Structure 1
Amino acid sequence: MFIPQIVLLVLVVAFLVSALRVLNEYERGVIFRLGRCIGAKGPGLIILIPLIDKMVKVSLRILTLDVPNQDVITKDNVSVKVNAVVYFRVVDPVKSILEIEDYMFGTSQLAQTTLRSVCGGVELDELLAQRDKVNTQIQSILDEHTDPWGIKVATVEVKYIDLPQEMQRAMAKQAEAERERRAKVIGAEGEYQAAGRLAEAASIIGEHPEALQLRYLQTMREMAAESKSATVIPVPLDIMNTLLSNPGGKTKKDT
């Protein structure tokens, strides 16, 4: 008497187990009913018809894709190795399943070819100094090509640029020469400014001769402070001027 009820209960439980699905907040389920896509469902509890519906889960979280080292020849014929990282996410679960077989593999291959193409179209100095510009260009190209797949490329970052040893030595020499050039320019600029100041000082002393006497006394003080064992006897500048104007020690009376 109770056997049909037990069988019915077992069938109901089996149906619920096979029909009920729970999707997380970051997941969507693309439903195929007898081979035809009827759309995406989720998150939360969804019901599938056993043996008729088939579900493919798709994550909407940002995915990280590591692009391996790529051999690149830059625009100025320098061979380098470049790798990058790509951050992308699925914005249309239906397109990501229907338009491409494996969107992860497809995005990886597209990122490798785009990285080689963009880095090969710029010079080495631009690749090193303007990395943000290169990142933006790669991200724009990837986003344009993956849009039909329901993929949004958020960020592309070039991680590492491996230069040959010969190029590293050449760049080190160039940097050293640049530093020497700057040092010479700064030194010459300092000499130029010092010469201008000296000219101004000479002009002031020429107008005020007593300033030379004060400078003379300051110099004597500095000499005495540097050498304590020496004896410095200051000689008035008037006497020195008299001796310099009359080398033989003659006066007007003697002549």
Structure 2
Amino acid sequence: MTPENIRESASKYSETAGATGPFLAGLLLIIIGWYVSAFTFYGAGIIIIGFLIAVFSGLKINSQWEEAIVLRLGKFNRINKEGLFYVFPIIEKAFRVDKRVITSSFNAEQTLTKDNVPVDVDAILFWRVISPKNAVINVKDYGGSVLFASQTALRDVIGRTILSEMLSNREDLDTKLKKIIDNKVSDWGVNVQSVEIREVRIPQALQDAMSRQAQAERERQARIILGDSEVQIAKKFEDASQVYKKNPAALHLRGMNMLYESLKQTDAIVIVPSSAVETMGLGGMLGTASTAKDLIKKRKTA
């Protein structure tokens, strides 16, 4: 947001209420009526109309969310809250202040982080006036001043933060920003409700590099997990071999189970080396199983 846009957006936050114009018009009518009354009775009517205009020109109405700061002869005189109030023409001037929560957007463009990365940051500021007197008397344009202070604070926070922290810990940045801005604007009668960073934009080349880095990190983690799984499987096999070494019967039972599983599929062909059969002591068992399988086939074809 440029300084010109900031001033335009802030101009709607304060309104000057004056009564000089209507009062002077009424006073002029009174003078004209006084001269006319010397020649005709209509002059009295003109005087009355002018008097009413002059009197009612000082009547003002505040909405429920407004307060008016009244200056008399240039010095603070009083604060008028919501409802009807009167401003004496010429000697008094009233400034209306909106006390509702105001939402303002601001940004920082091409600002270097602590690790020298240029970033564009957009943020939103939620604030309100809590002391209309300070907002009118202590600063000329409190709306524009708040936004300028917010922009400066944002640049300061960016310069003290590395990019990775800025992308991952936005809530901490919001808290830091709120504290810095609140300290700057407290003398102006303004209270900061909250600050939220909406978007952090980085150069496209850096985005591509970060994407490749993240992909490489995911592949590294996948390889580590796969390697750990292989180690665990090998460890289990080692434990099983120790059990089979100490208990040959368990090895024979495992062999029988493997043979049973292989023969469950009728169309399967299992080739077992003779050395393995002799080692496992399954020669007779294998022959018996094969004979049984042939008998089953003959019965099905009969």
Relative to the length of structure 1, the TM-score reads: 0.82
SS of 1:229's partner is: coil
In the TM superposition, 1:173-212 aligns within 5 A as: 173-212=212-251
- 2-structure distance, mates of 1:70, 1:242: 77
Q: Is the 8 A contact 2:69 2:76 kept in 1?
A: yes
- Paired with 1:203 and 1:69, the residues of 2 have a C-alpha distance of 68
* 3-state DSSP of counterpart to 2:200: strand
SS at 2:57 equivalent = helix
The residue number in structure 2 matching 1:214 is: 253
Instruction: Answer yes or no: is 1:14 the counterpart of 2:39.
Output: no
Runs of at least 5 residues in structure 1 that lack an aligned partner in the other structure: 245-255
User: Which structure has the bigger radius of gyration?
Assistant: 2
Question: Cα–Cα, structure 1 residues 236 and 150, in superposed 2: closer, same or farther, change >3 Å?
Answer: same
**CA contact 2:252–2:280 (8 Å) conserved in 1:** no
Alignment partner for residue 64 of structure 2, among 11, 25, 28? Answer: 25
User: Which of 126, 134, 138 is matched with 1:87 structurally?
Assistant: 126
The one-character-per-residue Cα deviations of 1:143-165 (angstroms, maximum 9, x if unpaired) are 00101111111211111111111
Counterpart CA distance in 1 for 2:48 and 2:113 is 71
Residue aligned with 1:84, SS = strand
Find the residue that maps to 1:153 and give its secondary structure.
strand
CA distance in 2, matches of 1:44, 1:104: 24
1:129 to 168, 177, 182: 168
Q: Which runs of 5+ in 2 are unaligned?
A: 1-40, 283-302
Displacement of 1:10 after TM fit? 4.5
Decide which of 207, 210, 227 is 1:171's aligned counterpart: 210
* Cα RMSD for the two superposed structures: 3.0
Alignment-mate amino acid for residue 104 of structure 2 = L
| Equivalent pair of 1:39/1:94 in contact (CA under 8 Å) | no
Structure 2: which amino acid aligns with 1:139? Answer: K
Between structures 1 and 2, the one with greater helix share: 2
CA displacement at 1:228 relative to structure 2 = 4.6
Give the AA of the match of 2:249.
E
1:4 deviates by 9.6
- Which residue of the partner structure matches residue 241 of structure 1? 279
Hey, what does 2:78 align to over in structure 1?
A: 39
Aligned match of 1:49: 88
Which of 150-159 and 20-29 deviates more?
20-29
Aligned CA distance change for structure 1 residues 109 and 212 (closer, same or farther; 3 Å): same
- 1:175 counterpart SS class: helix
Kindly provide the amino acid, as one letter, of the partner of residue 268 in structure 2: A
The count of residues paired between Structure 1 and Structure 2 equals 242
Inter-partner Cα distance in structure 2 for 1:116 and 1:37: 36
* Distance (Å, rounded) in 2 between the aligned partners of 1:197 and 1:8: 112
Q: Which runs of 4+ in 1 moved over 3 A?
A: 2-17, 220-225, 231-239
Residues 1:54 and 1:243: Cα distance change in structure 2 (over 3 Å): closer
1:152 to 191, 195, 201: 191
